A and B are shown apart, each in its own frame.
Chain A
Amino acid sequence: MADFAATALDKSQNRQTGGAGAMESGAAAQPLVRVEGLAKYFDVSPPLLTRVLEGQKKAIVRAVDGVSFAIPQGKTFSLVGESGCGKSTVARLVVGLYRPTRGHIEFEGTDLASLRTRAQMAPLRKRLQMIFQDPYASLNPRWRVADIIAEPIRAHKLMDDDRGILRRVGELLEQVRLSPRDGEKFPHEFSGGQRQRISIARALASNPEFLVCDEPTSALDVSVQAQILNLMKDLQRELGLTYLFISHDLAVVYHISDYVGVMYLGRLVEWGEAQQVFGSPRHPYTRMLMDAIPDLEMTGRQRIPVAGEVPSPIDPPSGCYFHPRCPFANERCSAESPMAIPVGSGEVACHGVEEGRI
């Protein structure tokens, strides 16, 4: 472990180009990935004619609305929050599947927005890869597994001799604890967990340093989920990978994460080291989420069910988006949107915390 930390630090020192990280207090290493004021709006208005005829207004979904965080090299940063709060949208922005409405994404200090052409993007693209929730939908059923895994190698022209590629595919299959012979088969011959291993092998094919994992185990049974989570941790250690991990399962997030960010209606309400966010959550929404975790220890603790439901992101509440559900809300909360302030190793955006009354 100590060994690994030292190499990780080494690597990052070689690579970093300076610039203060947002995590100075939390981590020694410079961030590999930094997201600053990230926003993505979707226009979901009815067609213009309908709008004019029926007097409807434009409808804009603020799926992500000003999110900032940083992930140190070799660490796992997780995003949690209720359905529709913008987790997947952040993931897709970070890997470049969407263009941000506002804000910046930096990879090793390079602003992704500054890379305009495909040719400029290419060297970076292969260093970030994504793993999706559904291992059934994300593998082409008509391709052999070996071709699925080799696809990024061919696309990025990392190798050109077929024997070499085949050898590399065999290595990758072994890395995800499958057999090189499995390359001959088709996806339907594998179980859900095995397919997710194949997705991981494909993601690793271009030697990425950064993996964005959007609910990678949510479609799997718990026993298979444990296999995949163990594999992901092993790979992180072996290859020094950095993860952005998304899950709605707080226990999974607790297990896998170094840092956790809690999202609500497109905004990050609290983030920090996992031990801190889980051990002493500060934001009232984080506390609510923690209270909603089922109690497997059976201590008889009475859960305080979260009141109410997430409002529509098309028409969010005024001030602090959480105020209609917050037991600590006051007048300021419904008028003024809270700014993030440093708390421990991270940040919290809440008037109550800032005023010292929570």
Chain B
Amino acid sequence: MAQTPVLEVRNLRVEFPTRKGTLVAVDDISFHVNEGEVLGVVGESGAGKSMTGTAVINLLEPPGRIGGGEVYLDGRRIDNLPYEQMRRIRGRQIGMVFQDPLTSLNPLYTVGRQLIETIRTHTDLSEQGARKRALELLAEVGIPSAERRIDQYPHQFSGGMRQRVVIALALCVNPRLVIADEPTTALDVSIQAQIIALLKKLCHEHGAAVMLITHDMGVIAETADRVAVMYAGRLAEVGPVQQVIQQAKHPYTEGLMGSIPKVGHHTDRLAQIEGSMPRLTEIPNGCAYHPRCPKAFARCFAERPDLITQGATDVSCWLYDEELQRVEAHG
């Protein structure tokens, strides 16, 4: 790979020390996101998606902490930076969009004030110039009659409009990396489609790298270039979105895809994965998926699989290792 990825994560581990021992929420995961690329991060609730996102921007709530690994932004290591320096990087180079737009907006200030302040803190535009830029951004994210809206407060906006404002805020300094954690989950399907289209367009136009965290495969299918599937704090599979969705390699991804109802596909029964994801206190030995996996065999109970490269996809499953050995033995 010639180009340096905008974001590179190596062997990241997030842990929570508790009285009963250390819980590992994210366990040794590695991935990267290139310029202009959307990496989808999917998985069921508790899989560790948000913890991964929060660790990347170094905003873990104590006692949560990074227990190992490295994070690079444009080739520069950022996980070990002092607080002040990291805060500046977050302000200038990383944009954030969360599920609830109200957590990112201050109810006491008008939308315009918040945009203008953010722009002025991180650029040397004048008040006038910053206001002009804020208006452009509001128009760009599709807020109708921005001139009138700019002086209103967040509570005067609907949920979908607020999320647009948050996206405008995230983009106002032309960030290198945008981390969007369930940005459409609280919104209606119709508004969801608008926000996704917007995120995608903006990322392509601004050349930012986007890490899009969601539990919704539909959103991933529409938006992501590559996708990382998480299970119990680990990566099950990472690869081009089309391959992961249509030719899932990991048995968990396969089960997940089968369990999603699809319009136009009439089936009487959905494919069903038995059981549910383990709690952090009860992560099984070996492959964390083995108690639910229909293809588990002896090795899966004892040994944890690493990512194995299969064409453009990386998959952590012993099935592929065996295949590799067989091919090697015969070739």
Asked whether, in the complex, the Cβ of A248 is within 8 Å of the Cβ of B189, the reply is yes
Once bound together, how far apart are the Cα atoms of A254 and B261, in whole Å?
8
Selected contact of A296 from candidates B193, B245, B277, CB within 8 Å: B245
Once bound together, how far apart are the Cα atoms of A13 and B66, in whole Å?
67
Asked whether, in the complex, the Cβ of A298 is within 8 Å of the Cβ of B221, the reply is yes
Specify the chain B residue showing the minimal Cβ separation from A237.
Answer: B268
Indicate if A209 sits at the interface (CB-CB under 8 A): no
Asked whether, in the complex, the Cβ of B160 is within 8 Å of the Cβ of A221, the reply is no
Indicate if B270 sits at the interface (CB-CB under 8 A): yes
Once bound together, how far apart are the Cα atoms of A223 and B161, in whole Å?
31
Which of chain A's residues 186-240 have a Cβ closer than 8 Å to chain B?
A: 191-194, 221-227, 229-230, 233
User: Across the interface, which residues of A come within 8 angstroms of B216, CB to CB?
Assistant: 294
Closest CB of chain B to A202's CB: distance in Å?
A: 20
Indicate if A303 sits at the interface (CB-CB under 8 A): yes
Interface-lining segment among A20-28, A36-44, A145-153, A285-293: A285-293
Asked whether, in the complex, the Cβ of A227 is within 8 Å of the Cβ of B221, the reply is no
Indicate if B54 sits at the interface (CB-CB under 8 A): no
Q: A221-B276, A222-B215, A226-B271 in contact; A295/B189 too (CB < 8 A)?
A: no
Indicate if B255 sits at the interface (CB-CB under 8 A): yes
Which of chain B's residues 179-221 have a Cβ closer than 8 Å to chain A?
A: 188-194, 197, 215-219, 221
Indicate if A82 sits at the interface (CB-CB under 8 A): yes
Asked whether, in the complex, the Cβ of A191 is within 8 Å of the Cβ of B276, the reply is yes
Once bound together, how far apart are the Cα atoms of A288 and B241, in whole Å?
26
Indicate if A136 sits at the interface (CB-CB under 8 A): no
Selected contact of B188 from candidates A83, A221, A252, A278, CB within 8 Å: A83
Asked whether, in the complex, the Cβ of B261 is within 8 Å of the Cβ of A292, the reply is no
Asked whether, in the complex, the Cβ of B44 is within 8 Å of the Cβ of A223, the reply is yes
Q: Range of interface residues on chain A?
A: 35 or more
Asked whether, in the complex, the Cβ of A296 is within 8 Å of the Cβ of B218, the reply is yes
Binary contact readout A237-254 vs B (1 if CB under 8 angstroms, 0 otherwise): 000000000001111101
User: Across the interface, which residues of A come within 8 angstroms of B255, CB to CB?
Assistant: 223
Closest CB of chain A to B213's CB: distance in Å?
A: 15
Indicate if B263 sits at the interface (CB-CB under 8 A): yes
Q: A82-B190, A295-B222, A306-B193 in contact; A226/B270 too (CB < 8 A)?
A: yes
Specify the chain A residue showing the minimal Cβ separation from B261.
Answer: A255
Indicate if B269 sits at the interface (CB-CB under 8 A): yes
Indicate if B122 sits at the interface (CB-CB under 8 A): no
Q: A251-B263, A293-B263 in contact; A305/B197 too (CB < 8 A)?
A: yes
Asked whether, in the complex, the Cβ of A292 is within 8 Å of the Cβ of B189, the reply is yes
Selected contact of A278 from candidates B246, B259, B263, B270, CB within 8 Å: B263
Q: A278-B264, A305-B194, A306-B194 in contact; A293/B189 too (CB < 8 A)?
A: yes
Indicate if B59 sits at the interface (CB-CB under 8 A): no
Closest CB of chain B to A255's CB: distance in Å?
A: 4
Once bound together, how far apart are the Cα atoms of A283 and B66, in whole Å?
52
Once bound together, how far apart are the Cα atoms of A181 and B255, in whole Å?
29
Indicate if B260 sits at the interface (CB-CB under 8 A): yes
Once bound together, how far apart are the Cα atoms of A165 and B244, in whole Å?
49
Once bound together, how far apart are the Cα atoms of A292 and B222, in whole Å?
11
User: Across the interface, which residues of B come within 8 angstroms of A83, CB to CB?
Assistant: 188
Closest CB of chain A to B77's CB: distance in Å?
A: 35
Once bound together, how far apart are the Cα atoms of A226 and B160, in whole Å?
29
Q: A226-B259, A292-B193 in contact; A82/B269 too (CB < 8 A)?
A: no
Once bound together, how far apart are the Cα atoms of A292 and B242, in whole Å?
20
25 contacts between A and B (CB under 8 A): A82-B189, A192-B276, A222-B259, A223-B256, A224-B276, A226-B258, A226-B272, A226-B273, A227-B274, A230-B270, A230-B272, A251-B260, A251-B261, A251-B263, A254-B262, A255-B267, A288-B190, A289-B189, A293-B189, A294-B216, A294-B217, A296-B217, A298-B221, A298-B241, A306-B190
Binding site for A on B (CB under 8 A): 44-45, 158, 160-161, 188-194, 197, 215-219, 221-222, 241-242, 245-246, 255-256, 258-264, 267-274, 276-277
Query: 4 tightest A-B contacts by CB?
Result: A294-B218, A306-B190, A226-B259, A255-B261
Interface contacts beyond A227-B274, A229-B261: sample of 16 additional A-B pairs, CB < 8 Å, sorted by A: A82-B190, A191-B276, A192-B276, A222-B217, A222-B256, A223-B44, A248-B189, A249-B189, A254-B261, A255-B270, A288-B190, A292-B190, A293-B218, A293-B263, A306-B193, A306-B194
